[in-house]
Amino acid sequence: MAERFSQKHQRVRPNSNEEQVVRRVKEHFERSLIKVGGHVAGSVAALEHPADNDALNYGEVFLRDNVPVMIYLLTQKRYDIVKQFLSVCLDLQSTTYQTRGVFPTSFVEEQGELIADYGQRSIGRITSADASLWWPILCWLYVRRSGDRSFGTSQRVQRGVQLLLDLVLHPTFEGTPVLFVPDCSFMIDRPMDVWGAPLEVEVLLYACLRSCIELMELSRKQQVSRLLDQRLVLTRQWVHDLRQFLLKHYWVTSKTMQVLRRRPTEQYGEDQHQNEFNVQPQVVPSWLQDWLENRGGYLIGNIRTGRPDFRFYSLGNSLACMFGVLTAPQQRALFRLVLHNRQHLMAQMPMRICHPPMYGSEWENKTGSDPKNWPWSYHNGGALAKPPLVLWGINSVA
C-alpha cells in the first residue's frame, strides 16, 4: 500500500527535451569561441548580429563578458583557453600616457591585426573601469585552479599587476580610499547617474587588490625585493581601509537610517566625524524604511558629498558577499532583505539589477533621455511588467 501511495504521489517531470537543449547550448557555446593568433582566446558577444552594420561590436571579445565564460572553462579544466585569454589581454594592456595600465574593454582580430578598444571606439567614448579590475581576479583564479604558478610569477604578469596598481593607487584629489570613476564606466554602460564611487566598482576594486596581493606574494616567495615589500604593505593597508570605508558609509539598516536622520549637518573640523559627507536627512527616500524592514540590510549604490545613492544594485551586493566584503551576519541581513522585497526584485529578469527604476523627469535628467534606459530596461530597474507609458508622457516606444 505504501508503494502504491508513493507511485501515486511521485512527481513526474514532463518531457522537456532537456538533453537536446543542453546539447544545443554546448554547440552554440563552442561556436562563440574564436581564435586569436591561431589559438582560442575568448567568446564573442553574440553569434548573430546585424551584418549590414559594420560599426557594431557584437563580434568582439569583451573582457567583462568573458569572466563567467572563463570561470566555466576553468571548471571544465580547459586551462589553455583561459591562459590564452589572459595573455592576450596582458599584451593589450595600455602603455600610453593617458590610459597607462588600463586593460582593453574588448578586442578583435581583423586581417591578422589585433584591435583593442580602450574607450576610443565605444558609445559615449568612456573608458571601462571594471574590465581592468576583473583581470587580476580572473588571473588569480586561473593560477589557483590550474596550479600554473609559473604564469603567475612570470615577469610579464608581475609587470601587468604593477602597472594596474600604479593606475588605481595613484594619488588623486579624492581623500577617501575609493576609486573615483565617471558615469558609464562599468557594467552599467549607459548614463544612470552612477558617477563617483559606485558600489560595483568599489567591490571589484577590493577583490582586485586582494588578487594582486596574492599574485605578488607568489613572486615574493621566489625573490626578495624591497620595492615589492613596500607595495605589498601599501596594498594591504588600502584593502583594509577600503573595506572599513564600505562598511561604514555604504552599509545601511533600519537602525543606521534612524541614526542618519538625527545626524547634525554643516560640521567643520578634524574632530567632527558624525556626518562626514554632510548628508541632509531630507535626502533619505520615503520607501527605504519599509524596504529595510527590521532585520534587513544592504550596501547602497554610491556615497557622494550630500548626495548618497540609496538605490539597490543587485550585482554589487552579490559580489560583496562573494568577495568577503560583508560579514556573515550582514550577508544574512542582505538575503532577508531580498526575500522581504522579492515582489519588487524577482520577475522576468529574473532579478532586477537596480531598484527602484527612474521615471519621468528624473529619467530625462539623469539618463539624458537615453532611449535604451527606459524604466523597465536592463539598466534602469530590470524587465518587470511594463508600467503605463503615461507616467513619462511618452506616446510610443521604439
Domains of the chain: 29-48+56-248 (1.50.10.10), 252-268+275-391 (no CATH)
Residue 140, all three cell numbers: 588569480
Percent of the chain with pLDDT over 90: 63
> Strand, coil or helix: what is 62?
strand
DSSP 293-313: TTT-EEEEEE--TT--EEEEE
> What pLDDT score does 268 carry?
85
Angle separating helix axes 130-146 and 155-168, nearest 10 degrees: 150
pLDDT tens, residue by residue, 192-242: 999 999 999 999 999 999 999 999 999 988 887 888 999 999 999 999 999
Range from 48-57, 94-103, 297-306, 334-343 carrying the lowest mean pLDDT? 48-57
Compare 45 and 300 and report the one with higher pLDDT: 300
> Which grid cell is 386?
511594463
pLDDT at 369: 92
What pLDDT is recorded for position 387? 47
Question: For residue range 242-261, what is the model confidence (pLDDT) as tens digits?
Answer: 999 999 999 999 998 888 88
The answer to whether residue 367 scores a pLDDT higher than 50 is: yes
Cell of 52: 549590414
Cell of 18: 532537456
User: Is the confidence at residue 350, as pLDDT, over 80?
Assistant: no
Whether 52 shows a pLDDT value over 90: the answer reads: no
Instruction: Tell me the three cell numbers of residue 394.
Output: 511618452
pLDDT of 282 over the 70 cut? yes
Checking if the pLDDT of 80 tops 90, the result is: yes
Dihedral (CA of 326, 356, 335, 135) sign:
negative
- How far CA 384 is from CA of 246, 303, 316, in Å, comes to 30, 27, 20
Distance of alpha carbon 378 from alpha carbon 349, whole angstroms: 8
DSSP secondary structure of 63-115: TTTHHHHHHHHHHTT-HHHHHHHHHHHHHT---STTTTTPPPSEEEEETTEEE
Assess whether pLDDT exceeds 60 at residue 395.
Answer: no
pLDDT tens string 118-166 = 988 888 888 899 999 999 999 999 999 999 999 999 999 999 999 999 9
Predicted confidence at residue 348, as pLDDT, reads 63
Give Cβ neighbours of residue 247 (< 8 Å, ≥ 6 apart).
325, 326, 330
C-alpha 133 chain-centroid distance = 9
The three cell numbers of residue 31 are 561556436
Q: What stretches of the chain show up as alpha helix (H) in DSSP?
A: 2-9, 18-32, 66-75, 79-91, 130-146, 149-153, 155-168, 199-222, 226-249, 254-262, 288-292, 314-322, 328-340, 342-345, 360-367
Q: Indicate the residue type of 331.
A: Q
Neighbours of 2 (CB within 10 A): 6
The candidate with the shortest Cα–Cα distance to 41, out of 32, 54, 50, is: 32
Answer whether 42's CB lies under 8 Å from 69's CB: yes
| AA letter at 357 | P
- Report, as an integer, the average pLDDT of 342-349: 80
Mean pLDDT calculated for residue range 307-316: 95
- The share of the chain scoring above pLDDT 70, in percent, equals 89
Decide: 155 and 335 in contact? Cβ < 8 Å: no
User: What residues form DSSP beta bridges with 354?
Assistant: 313
374 confidence band (pLDDT: 50, 70, 90) = confident
**Nearest one of 212, 96, 95, 228 to 161, comparing CA atoms:** 212
Q: Looking at per-residue confidence, does 276 or 215 come out higher?
A: 215
Q: Provide φ and ψ at 291, rounded to 5°.
A: -65, -40
Q: CA-CA distances (angstroms) from residue 245 to 29, 176, 201, 209?
A: 40, 8, 14, 15
List C-alpha distances in Å: 28 to 33, 46, 266, 301, 349.
9, 10, 58, 35, 22
Calpha distance 233→392 (Å, rounded): 52
The residue with greater pLDDT, 102 or 352, is 102
